[in-house]
A and B are shown apart, each in its own frame.
Chain A
Amino acid sequence: NAGVTQTPKFQVLKTGQSMTLQCAQDMNHNSMYWYRQDPGMGLRLIYYSASEGTTDKGEVPNGYNVSRLNKREFSLRLESAAPSQTSVYFCASSPRRDGAYNEQFFGPGTRLTVL
């Protein structure tokens, strides 16, 4: 039981390049999330998917797109990377769509640098 997995672990991009961050969970969770973590700012929600087939914007969605490929997988795409997107990206999942009090389970993160 791997929990939440993310690939890649590290990535360096040049400004304007594109890439997709992959996330998968094997806990049969309904909801999945993408966060970015910047020093002193905690975690900020980029996009989330309450259930398979739905996605919604979070606090900081500009410059990102997401795809909920199936119940297990939720990818984050940067179409044209900018230095301001240098950050650590975390994927998370939680069990139930209506489980407001369910804790979230986090992946190990992807450290992205945009030059």
Chain B
Amino acid sequence: AQSVAQPEDQVNVAEGNPLTVKCTYSVSGNPYLFWYVQYPNRGLQFLLKYITGDNLVKGSYGFEAEFNKSQTSFHLKKPSALVSDSALYFCAVRDIQNNNAGNMLTFGGGTRLMVKP
């Protein structure tokens, strides 16, 4: 079975400061990992993904995430937060060993990021 946890319901950060949104996962094999962002009254938008290779993945809007296999984590980071980054962030995982034909992802519960001016 595959699962993902986002331990923080909300993260507050001041504009200009670095931000981190945490994600840990559980899979039986190797993971494919994703981050999505949801702005109010909108669908989810893809930010970045880790498939293989470099543990530091760069994505849209200046976000990056670091894959740490030993800690089973995939934390989302940004060096300098913007007020416009305020949104709901979701981590998602798929176990490479999971032989489901439909590319099914398991999503975390979401973390609300609040960036204050």
If A40-B109, A43-B90 touch, whether A97 touches B45 (CB-CB below 8 Å) is: no
A42 pairs with B109, CB closer than 8 A: yes
Q: Does B8 reach chain A (CB closer than 8 Å)?
A: no
Q: Does A45 reach chain B (CB closer than 8 Å)?
A: yes
A43 pairs with B32, CB closer than 8 A: no
Interface band, chain A = 20 to 34
CB distance from A90 to the nearest CB of B (A): 6
A residues in contact with B6, CB < 8 Å = 42
Q: Does A61 reach chain B (CB closer than 8 Å)?
A: no
If A50-B101, A100-B94 touch, whether A42 touches B108 (CB-CB below 8 Å) is: yes
Q: Does A53 reach chain B (CB closer than 8 Å)?
A: no
B110 to A, closest residue via Cβ: A42
Q: Which of A4, A31, A107 contacts B102 (CB 8 A)?
A: A31
A45–B108 Cα distance when bound, in Å, is: 12
A49 pairs with B102, CB closer than 8 A: yes
If A42-B90, A100-B94, A101-B32 touch, whether A50 touches B43 (CB-CB below 8 Å) is: no
Most buried by B among A31, A92, A103, A108: A103
Binding site for B on A (CB under 8 A): 4, 31, 33, 35, 40-45, 48-50, 54, 56, 58, 90, 92, 94, 96-109
Given contacts A45-B104, A106-B36, 16 further A-B pairs with CB under 8 A are: A33-B104, A42-B107, A48-B102, A48-B104, A50-B103, A56-B102, A90-B43, A92-B43, A94-B103, A96-B103, A97-B102, A100-B32, A104-B103, A105-B46, A107-B43, A108-B43
Binding site for A on B (CB under 8 A): 6, 9, 32, 34, 36, 41-46, 49, 51, 90, 94, 96, 101-105, 107-110
Question: Which A-B residue pairs are the 8 nearest by beta carbons?
Answer: A106-B43, A50-B102, A42-B107, A103-B46, A50-B101, A48-B102, A43-B107, A42-B109
